[in-house]
Amino acid sequence: MSKEKSVKASEKSKPISKPETVESKAKPVTKPVVTESKAQPAAKPVATENKVKPATKTAVTESKAKPVTKTAVTESKAEPVKKAPAKKDVTAEIKAEEANAAEATAKASSKAKPAAKATKKSPSAKPTKAAVEKAPAVESAKAVEESAPVEAAPTEEHYTSPRRSVAFIGSECYPFVKTGGLGDVMYALPKALVKQNCDVKVILPRYKCIPWEYQEKMVYRGSFQMDLCADGRSFYVGIMEYVWDGVVYDFIDNEEFFSDGNPYTNLVDDIPKYCYFAKAALAALNYMDWIPDIIHCHDWQSALVPVYLRTQFVNTKLTTAKTILTIHNLRFQGIYNIPTIRYWSGLPDHVFNKDVLKVKYKDANMLKGGLAYANIITTVSQTYAGEIQSAYYGETLDAHLRYHSRKLRGIVNGIDYDIWNPDTDDRLHENYNITNVLDKKKENKRQLQEELGLVKDDHKFVIGLISRLTNQKGLDLVTSILPQVMDGHTQVVVLGTGDRNYEDAFRYYEHTYKGDVCSSIMYDETRAHRIYAGADALLVPSRFEPCGLTQLIAMHYGTVPIVRETGGLKDTVEPYNMYFNTGNGFTFDRYEAGLLLDAINRAKTLYFENRWCWDEMVQRDMDKDLSWEKSAKQYKDLYLDLTR
């Protein structure tokens, strides 16, 4: 996901121009004041064709290039890990998909070059200093495995379900680098799959911004030169390994591509970066002779993997692997002009046709290509899987998704109970569980109020909002009704960074409602944990939401979600039913400010007038199974289906 920068320094609040507000009272209004009816178009290239020519980057990289360091290139070959079992029977559905892909790749395969070959012409070779320094010292990856923490306890599935090997390829992963939900999933799902008897390798870029505490534990696993661009330019690919909780993390090392302070910068740099990453990830698997049953890719940054696999890697051992592409957020697609993507990816001309990568007249869409070539497409909730096939949510790919709907599935995300557990969370002032939540949550609320400079009052209804501050998250609804929410008995706590207009609007409200509104315009994990624990309710009024993790975390912390019924929010939050006293939160359907205000008012009414029922909902939420176990099992079943 090409998200905004994840880490921003905290800025002082300052008064700014007042945002527009909805004048209506608690009742639903028929027309929202600040409501855009259409989702924004998919991530647009920031520069035009003439601005960025392949040649520009070439010039830059060549001037930086250093000669290949012998130490880095001449290490012993990594041990082969595990071979994939022969796979002959696949479902009819998958066969059909492959027939399509095969047709498209037939031409390419004759031209296909070996993916990663050692070469001496290496103008762009550039191992990181650490890789070179570490190389001689490292015996083998086994050393790390020995020193790694003990693996998680195996579940029953671990023994009864057949073993499968899976390579996860994605652009971010907690705790190394995270800008949003993708980072959480890339960490938690592999861990959960290990318990389902999967052998998992996670392949990530080795960004310079990964904290040193992890960098220093990485072990050099090997390196080679890889042809990438259309003109045959080759690049250094280093593999640095880290084993943790039974999962092997292999970081693709190349200082030239991954030395920015943030994973995502701008498309001018990100397009070459993720063309390189997709190909290098496959080349690294080949190099390590680790042939997985499944290659599971995530979002546009690794969407070219299935395309490479069925074109340039078709004559390698990897070709037996099945591919899954998971859409975590359809808004980000990796679109750029065809000449640039063609140059950097080095992919054959025929994939730049309208059924695969081409969009409009002159652009290529990396996600679209991956969707065409993947054996299975998943997205992170059932509802979102349906929504994205409509024009409103489809981000211009709805027709393409409808065409591939036979291979589209929705599997909802979970949360990692090791990280998100109020009973053991060491970032909290007071730990708690379902038996003492009512008392201890009050204590967390008091501490939160004190820490954030709010009026200390147990009786105030505290609403939290933890979010990227972007157009997706429904913040225009929030900023337009906030004055009506501020009734003297309510406090609002915002944590997030993003678009300037939202950051300024929340700063304005902090200034206007001093003591009752706190806007933390920053990215801060500890503060996030404390808000989940100290708030009474959490707001997620998204315009669209593939799954959403914040409402899941909130429920697990006994914080009642107030959400819009879209995507994963609809699938995970059952609306409160006052007659049967059931449900997990408060919901509204249409994207209208008045309906959000109405949902907040219903929550307040229950909180202030029927605390008994509110408290029961708090406990119900904490009791809900939101772990990864169920979803990991669904993924495992999918892997088994694909590789029967």
| Helix H or strand E encompassing 247 | strand 247-253
Are 477 and 594 in contact, with CB atoms under 8 Å apart?
Answer: no
Query: By C-beta, is 172 or 293 nearer to ligand ADP?
Result: 172
Distance in Å, CB of 466 to ligand ADP, minimum: 5
- Give, as one character, the DSSP assignment of residue 164: E
Query: By C-beta, is 216 or 418 nearer to ligand ADP?
Result: 418
Distance in Å, CB of 183 to ligand ADP, minimum: 7
Are 478 and 464 in contact, with CB atoms under 8 Å apart?
Answer: no
Distance in Å, CB of 380 to ligand ADP, minimum: 8
Distance in Å, CB of 167 to ligand ADP, minimum: 22
Query: By C-beta, is 9 or 137 nearer to ligand ADP?
Result: 9
Q: In what order do the strands lie in the sheet with 335-337?
A: 335-337, 363-365, 358-359
Query: By C-beta, is 331 or 358 nearer to ligand ADP?
Result: 331
Query: By C-beta, is 181 or 558 nearer to ligand ADP?
Result: 181
Length of the chain, in residues: 644
Helices 366-373 and 92-111: crossing angle, nearest 10°? 120
- Residue type present at position 382: Q
**How would you classify residue 518: left for phi > 0, otherwise alpha for psi between -120 and 50, otherwise beta?**
beta
d(CA 118, CA 116): 7
Cβ contacts of residue 45 below 8 Å, gap of 6+?
267, 335, 336, 337, 363
Are 132 and 69 in contact, with CB atoms under 8 Å apart?
Answer: yes
Are 410 and 400 in contact, with CB atoms under 8 Å apart?
Answer: no
Quick count: other Cβ atoms within 10 Å of Cβ 352? 18
d(CA 444, CA 319): 53
378 strand-pairing partners: 326, 409
Distance in Å, CB of 562 to ligand ADP, minimum: 14
Query: By C-beta, is 281 or 547 nearer to ligand ADP?
Result: 547
Q: In what order do the strands lie in the sheet with 294-298?
A: 219-227, 234-244, 247-253, 198-205, 164-169, 294-298, 322-327, 376-379, 408-410
Distance in Å, CB of 552 to ligand ADP, minimum: 8
Query: By C-beta, is 97 or 172 nearer to ligand ADP?
Result: 172
Among 529, 535, 528, 537, residue whose Cα is nearest residue 425: 529
Query: By C-beta, is 174 or 605 nearer to ligand ADP?
Result: 174
Distance in Å, CB of 532 to ligand ADP, minimum: 7
Distance in Å, CB of 154 to ligand ADP, minimum: 27
Distance in Å, CB of 142 to ligand ADP, minimum: 33
C-alpha R_g of the chain: 25
Distance in Å, CB of 342 to ligand ADP, minimum: 30
d(CA 459, CA 503): 28
Query: By C-beta, is 141 or 454 nearer to ligand ADP?
Result: 454
Distance in Å, CB of 378 to ligand ADP, minimum: 15
Distance in Å, CB of 225 to ligand ADP, minimum: 35
Name the residue number minimizing CB distance to ligand ADP: 181
Distance in Å, CB of 464 to ligand ADP, minimum: 10
Beta strands in 453-497 (DSSP E): 461-466, 490-495
Query: By C-beta, is 402 or 427 nearer to ligand ADP?
Result: 427
Query: By C-beta, is 29 or 531 nearer to ligand ADP?
Result: 531
Query: By C-beta, is 184 or 387 nearer to ligand ADP?
Result: 184
Binding site for ligand ADP (CB under 6 A): 180-181, 184, 466-468, 495-497, 523-525, 528, 547-550
Quick count: other Cβ atoms within 10 Å of Cβ 216? 10
Query: By C-beta, is 138 or 209 nearer to ligand ADP?
Result: 209
d(CA 600, CA 614): 13
Are 132 and 253 in contact, with CB atoms under 8 Å apart?
Answer: no
- How far lies 638's CA from each of 147, 173, 387, in Å? 33, 22, 21
d(CA 100, CA 107): 13
